[in-house]
A and B are shown apart, each in its own frame.
Chain A
């Protein structure tokens, strides 16, 4: 059974600081996704990582994937208040029926002024 873990689950940081969120998964997968969720809202796709060593950047967020370590990171550079949200990683999982996505528990980020 595929398990996806994230750490930390809660993160409070000051504006201007850097931090990294980690996503570990238990079985082989070469597709990893990062989503953002604002309170009471749906999920917004941030990054799709499709191969070992993939790195993608958008603004102050940068995501990377190490399939050998089964680890993805989401790095936040010089955080601003607008980045406050819950961040989920998800791993693609293929079974006999088809493909689904298993989500981590989420990291709730609060950026304080």
Chain B
């Protein structure tokens, strides 16, 4: 079975600082990978998804970027955080040929 690791679990960063959140997947190869953001008390907003190494689709224009340097590694980055970047960031993975997506435990980011 696949396992999705996200770290860190919580993060407090000042406005204007850089960001790097990492997601790694075990137990499957060539998964589709997704980054979602959830603002407090709100639904999930798809930020990026990737069908392979170096292939990133961006859903929402913003100051965030994503990279997939390895098959099972997905990184969410920012050069300068904004207050509005605060939220709960979730990484998800879907195995090729399977229908279901599974989620990591999330990173709670607070920008102060």
Q: Check B82 for interface membership: any CB of A closer than 8 A.
A: no
A contact patch SS:
strand
Set of chain B residues within 8 Å of A50, measured between Cβ atoms: 99
Q: Report how far A40 CA is from B105 CA in the complex, Å.
A: 9
Q: Report how far A45 CA is from B102 CA in the complex, Å.
A: 7
Q: Report how far A48 CA is from B100 CA in the complex, Å.
A: 7
Q: Report how far A45 CA is from B98 CA in the complex, Å.
A: 14
Known: A42-B106, A43-B90. A100 touches B99 (CB 8 A): no
Within 8 A of B (CB), among A29-70: 31, 33, 35, 40-45, 48, 50
Interface size bucket, B side? 20 to 34
Contact of A98 among B46, B51, B102, B103 (CB under 8 A): B51
Q: Report how far A94 CA is from B32 CA in the complex, Å.
A: 12
Q: Report how far A51 CA is from B92 CA in the complex, Å.
A: 23
Within 8 A of A (CB), among B48-81: 49, 51, 55, 57, 59
In the complex, how many residues of chain A place their beta carbon closer than 8 angstroms to a beta carbon of chain B?
Answer: 25
Q: Check B44 for interface membership: any CB of A closer than 8 A.
A: yes
The reply to whether A100 and B49 contact each other, CB–CB distance below 8 Å, is yes
Q: Report how far A59 CA is from B104 CA in the complex, Å.
A: 25
Known: A103-B44, A105-B42. A98 touches B49 (CB 8 A): yes
Taking the closest CB of chain B, its distance from the CB of A108, in whole angstroms, is: 8
Set of chain A residues within 8 Å of B102, measured between Cβ atoms: 45
Taking the closest CB of chain A, its distance from the CB of B13, in whole angstroms, is: 19
Set of chain B residues within 8 Å of A40, measured between Cβ atoms: 108
Q: Report how far A72 CA is from B49 CA in the complex, Å.
A: 25
Taking the closest CB of chain A, its distance from the CB of B42, in whole angstroms, is: 7
Q: Report how far A22 CA is from B101 CA in the complex, Å.
A: 21
Set of chain B residues within 8 Å of A105, measured between Cβ atoms: 42-43
Q: Report how far A44 CA is from B108 CA in the complex, Å.
A: 17
Give the residue among B34, B46, B104, B108 with the most A Cβ atoms within 10 A: B46
5 more contacts with CB within 8 A, not counting A88-B43, A97-B49, A101-B92, are A31-B99, A42-B106, A99-B94, A104-B43, A105-B43
- A residues adjacent to B (C-beta < 8 A): 31, 33, 35, 40-45, 48, 50, 88, 90, 92, 95, 97-106
